[in-house]
Structure 1
Amino acid sequence: MTAIDSLPPLREVIASHGLSARKSLGQNFLLDLNLTAKIARQAGDLSECDVLEIGPGPGGLTRGLLSEGARRVVAVEKDSRCLPALEEIAAAYPGRLEILQGDALEIDPLQHLTPPIRVAANLPYNVGTELLVRWLTPKDWPPYWQSLTLMFQREVAERIVAAPGSKAYGRLAILSQWRSEARIVLSLPPGAFTPPPKVSSAVIHVTALPEPRFPADPQVLSRVVAAAFNQRRKMLRAALKGVAPDIEDRLMAAGIKPTDRAETVSLEAFCALARAVAAG
């Protein structure tokens, strides 16, 4: 009998510990262990890696990560009600699961992790995008993580992988694709979750690149892209007038028409614009 077989079904765990999902915490639990194992496999070979998991809840994905061979899992959980259920998993996998109680936006888990590190999580809906942006914009690159395997609402996942010219294309696509490779690897219907959310979900897999696809100062690029997409319906000469007084000249220097709109501009062109702005 394997460790995962010795653990009670997740529905029993939820019932015995009174773990009804809380909307205020963005909780939607995945209870199908075949599905959580499938998500864990999308993270790749974990046998030589420590895995950071955010918002494990009753531990469906946690079980998947451990049963698929993760060297260690460090799970950050805000909801104290879930800790006894996670402790049961830790007991079944001695020395391989560390549980940190607290807010993932406030905890620095790095002191608990040993490289190589991967991140895998069914992210709480209310903090998912902010965590992704933090992982994509560290002070130093390459980041501490090799890859991110993350569950999002389908709409957010599509924004991450969007191409220029589409309505989903925006700041999140630029941040995700500038220094990493992002793709949707799995789609899940609302019925896969308890309680079922009102929207479909998708798993994305993001692999860190050794260096950016195109040279640009991260802070300048972030500022230019934020300004451009904050007023995405405006022509860039208007949307970016606060970035530089001679923004039309900078746009043309980057090969961008001042009358273009943000959603038509490629990642490469945005990086060229960031260089033109930084040149002063």
Structure 2
Amino acid sequence: MIKPRKRFGQHWLKSEIALENIIKTAQLKREDRILEIGPGTGILTERLLPQVNQVLAVEIDRDLCKLLRTKFAGWSNFLLLEGDFLAQEFFPGFLEYNKVVANIPYYITGPILEKLLGTISKPSPKQLEFIVLLIQKEVAERLVAKPGNKNYGALTLKVRYLADCEIVCKVPARAFYPPPKVDSVVVKITPRKIDNPPKNPAFLEKIIRMGFNGRRKMLKNNLKPIVKPELLEVILANFNINPQVRAEDLDLQDWILLSNILSDSPDCGEG
């Protein structure tokens, strides 16, 4: 029995209910090609393989790779890539995969999401059907937070620009070995293209980052390096937005509108 390694953020999922919920959420079809990040001992993998065309598992732990090669030696639709998923270039085979289903290491959730979805200024060219992940509950709450909520922040907006997110079910710490110090949830993330993209996506990305730098400050103060506070007050008031607004009070469409106005304004600097 291979023991979970803390440095890789490993916690073996042992709950049949959680596994069933993940599989159900994945809406597997025979033609599906699945990417699984961090398969661990293969407890999820063995439920995926009989139902899909192919599973590509990416595992960084050398000992686990040996175990997985032995365990699934008889499965022709199992492919294993040994290495750090975040360090991989998007290998040609990845372009054939239409879904991601995984119990990922929680400490790299943000980088994994960026790798899969891209960024506001550079979205991923691959349009996956959807992504089903088991992640930390606190992070999931940030992904689905509404404006004005304490969990609403830059991560919320960056992911919301690229995808729709929903929490499917909660998974308690006791569902893992060893139990993590946090509760978890299954999330379904459905990538999509934005209906009304900003004129300058890189600028939108920039002002979102600046806006949430100093969360309790008013937006006009956080954006001071690129626009005079008094000018921003006028702009906000013209669109019936409180001039004293904070970053967490604006929804995605508000941010896109603000980005378009500021990027066109001769009075707006680069910061």
Q: Could you tell me the TM-score, scaled by structure 1's length?
A: 0.85
Q: CA deviation at 1:173?
A: 1.5
- Counterpart residue number, 2:254: 269
Match of 1:113 among 83, 89, 94: 94
- Counterpart residue number, 1:147: 130
Match of 2:81 among 100, 106, 117: 100
More displaced, 270-279 or 185-194?
270-279
- Counterpart residue number, 1:9: none
> What is the CA deviation profile of residues 158-200 of structure 1, one whole-angstrom value per residue up to 9, with x for unaligned ones?
1001111110111122122223211001210000001000110
1:49 is aligned with what amino acid?
A: D
Secondary structure of 2:189's aligned partner: strand
Secondary structure of 1:47's aligned partner: coil
Within the alignment, does 1:186 sit opposite 2:169 as a pair? Answer: yes
- Counterpart residue number, 2:241: 256
Q: CA deviation at 1:49?
A: 2.0
Does the CA contact (< 8 Å) of 2:127 and 2:191 recur in 1?
A: no
Residues in 2 aligned to 1:194 and 1:148: alpha-carbon distance in whole angstroms = 24
Does the CA contact (< 8 Å) of 2:117 and 2:124 recur in 1?
A: no
Within the alignment, does 1:84 sit opposite 2:69 as a pair? Answer: no
Note the aligned Cα RMSD (angstroms): 2.0
Residues in 1 aligned to 2:176 and 2:29: alpha-carbon distance in whole angstroms = 25
Does the CA contact (< 8 Å) of 1:254 and 1:273 recur in 2?
A: no
Paired residues for 1:185-204 under 5 Å: 185-204=168-187
- Counterpart residue number, 1:136: 117
Identify unmatched segments of 5+ residues in structure 1: 1-14
Residues in 2 aligned to 1:219 and 1:255: alpha-carbon distance in whole angstroms = 25
Q: CA deviation at 1:143?
A: 3.2
* 1:34–1:273 CA distance, 2 compared to 1 (3 A): same
- Counterpart residue number, 2:106: 125
2:62 is aligned with what amino acid?
A: S
1:106 is aligned with what amino acid?
A: A
* 1:145–1:253 CA distance, 2 compared to 1 (3 A): farther
- Counterpart residue number, 1:279: 264
> What is the CA deviation profile of residues 108-160 of structure 1, one whole-angstrom value per residue up to 9, with x for unaligned ones?
34412353511111111121111113323353466342211111110001100
Identify unmatched segments of 5+ residues in structure 2: 266-271
Within the alignment, does 1:164 sit opposite 2:173 as a pair? Answer: no
> What is the CA deviation profile of residues 249-271 of structure 1, one whole-angstrom value per residue up to 9, with x for unaligned ones?
55445553331011111111011
2:85 is aligned with what amino acid?
A: A
* 1:222–1:63 CA distance, 2 compared to 1 (3 A): same
Residues in 1 aligned to 2:22 and 2:124: alpha-carbon distance in whole angstroms = 26
- Counterpart residue number, 2:223: 240
Secondary structure of 2:40's aligned partner: coil
> What is the CA deviation profile of residues 82-102 of structure 1, one whole-angstrom value per residue up to 9, with x for unaligned ones?
0122113432322x1111111
